[in-house]
Amino acid sequence: MSYHVVENMFLKAGIHCNGTQPYDIKVLNSAFYDRVLRDGQLGIGESYMDGWWECDAIDEMVEKFINAGLLKDAEKNFRFILNYFKVKLTDIGKPSKAYEVAEKHYDLGNKLFETFLDKRMVYSCAYWKGATNIDEAQENKLDLVCRKLDLKPGMKVLDIGCGWGSWAKYASEKYGVEVIGVTVSKEQASYARDKCRGLPIDIQLKDYREVSGVYDRIVSIAMFEAVGRKYFRTFMEVMERSLKDDGIFVLHSIIGRIPLGPAQSTWLNKYIFPNGELSTLAQLSKAVEGLFLEEAHHQLTGQYEKTLEAWYQNFNSNWPQISDAYDERFFRMWKVYLLLSKGVFRSRLIQLWQFVYTKRGIPKNSHSIADLNIAKFDAR
């Protein structure tokens, strides 16, 4: 009974159980079908971690699931409805939860991230225009952000969600700026302080709501995804009070075609990024309304798929270097996370955007709005 229900559900996406196409699922444990019916998306992810099924092209499989509307179908499930209201009651993004994503993800060990990231340890979408490898592509991205900020020597810059200090170090060395970097990860803070020693960079372990001071420029790369929709406006208010009147703020963030949070991403929320919520363009516009002028926006079409593929290849190749510290279930969890993410980007359910904001318009003696136009930075 459960086999036929699951098979018919998957067939809506053109996916067969035990079929011959690379995106078909090869079921290795017949209990898989009952688990999928009981636990939905969470059951699919957990059963892969447990070795109950295989697929040669998980990214293609995920893309097909999404484009066939199976995500919407899942929202009609009673368990989804219960989980949705549970999430609504947990107050995603509140200060007491700010450090949870670091404890469960970023503090897993720097060696883990060294196995798959570039040499600068950049954990966000790269910019592949003219690049032949992940190191070049990430340096392209770091410089792209610097150019959009129009950095000048001596400027004081706030880096919200500074990670392992990659952008701060690059900007300080190449553009001569002073950087205050903020992160909620102890591992990242320790690594960044060591890497940035000797430069005018101050790495602080704190929540974004605790920042003080006023800055010439602000940058936030791949951090807004952890703010929580209830606090989108709060985040922007903190950015507004922290930016000088003639300053520039660049936001680099994943944006959803629809609102996407823990209820829609049960497996990712439980195992990879707890309390993450992606904004839509409409939600972002509402959050900045009356606070910032949007001077430019840039959708980096196709860039994250290439980045995730590079990360996956590195992780797979370098796994033996860290396999003693993590078990096989962790390996399968991380593998499906990277490929699942690639598939979601391929479906265009989510996209990577960069936004340039000011409080009163582009500063004098800075680049013009024409310089910031999407055509100038088009990656395709």
Q: Rounded to an integer, what is the distance from CA 49 to the centroid of its chain?
A: 22
Q: Three-state SS string across the chain, please?
A: CHHHHHHHHHHCCCCCECCCCCCCEEECCCCHHHHHHHHHHHHHHHHHHCCCEECCCHHHHHHHHHHCCHHHHHCCCHHHHHHHHHHHHCCCCCHHHCCHHHHHHHCCCHHHHHHHCCCCCCCCCCCCCCCCCHHHHHHHHHHHHHHHHCCCCCCEEEEECCCCCHHHHHHHHHHCCEEEEEECCHHHHHHHHHHCCCCCEEEEECCHHHCCCCEEEEEEECCHHHCCHHHHHHHHHHHHHHEEEEEEEEEEEEEECCCECCCCCHHHHHHCCCCCCEECHHHHHHHHCCCCEEEEEEECCCHHHHHHHHHHHHHHHHHHHCCCCCCHHHHHHHHHHHHHHHHHHHCCCEEEEEEEEECCCCCCCCCCHHHHCHHHHCCC
pTM of the predicted model, to two decimals? Answer: 0.92
Q: Residue range 110-136: average pLDDT?
A: 97
Domain with CATH 3.40.50.150 in the chain: 95-377
- In terms of pLDDT, which residue wins out, 92 or 218? 218
pLDDT digits (tens, 9 = 90+) for 305-331: 999 999 999 999 999 999 999 999 999
Q: In the structure encoding, which two tokens stand for residue 145, read together?
A: 């952000």
Instruction: State in Å, rounded, how far the first CA of the chain is from the last one.
Output: 47
What is Dmax (Cα atoms) for the chain?
70
Yes or no: say if 344 and 350 are a contact pair by the CB < 8 Å rule: yes
41-55 in b/e form (b: 16+ CB < 10 A) is: bbbbbbbbbbebbeb
Residue 362 predicted with pLDDT over 80: yes
Q: What pLDDT shows up at residue 378?
A: 55
pLDDT digits (tens, 9 = 90+) for 7-17: 988 999 999 99
On the 0-12 / 13-18 / 19+ scale of CB atoms within 10 A, 61 is: buried
Report the percentage of the chain scoring pLDDT > 90: 77
pLDDT digits (tens, 9 = 90+) for 52-62: 999 999 999 99
* CATH match for 95-377 among 3.40.50.150, 3.30.2130.30, 1.10.10.10, 1.10.357.140: 3.40.50.150
pLDDT digits (tens, 9 = 90+) for 148-178: 999 999 999 999 999 999 999 999 999 999 9
Q: Residue range 17-42: average pLDDT?
A: 93
**Cα–Cα distance, 279 to 152 (Å, whole number):** 31
**Cα–Cα distance, 359 to 216 (Å, whole number):** 12
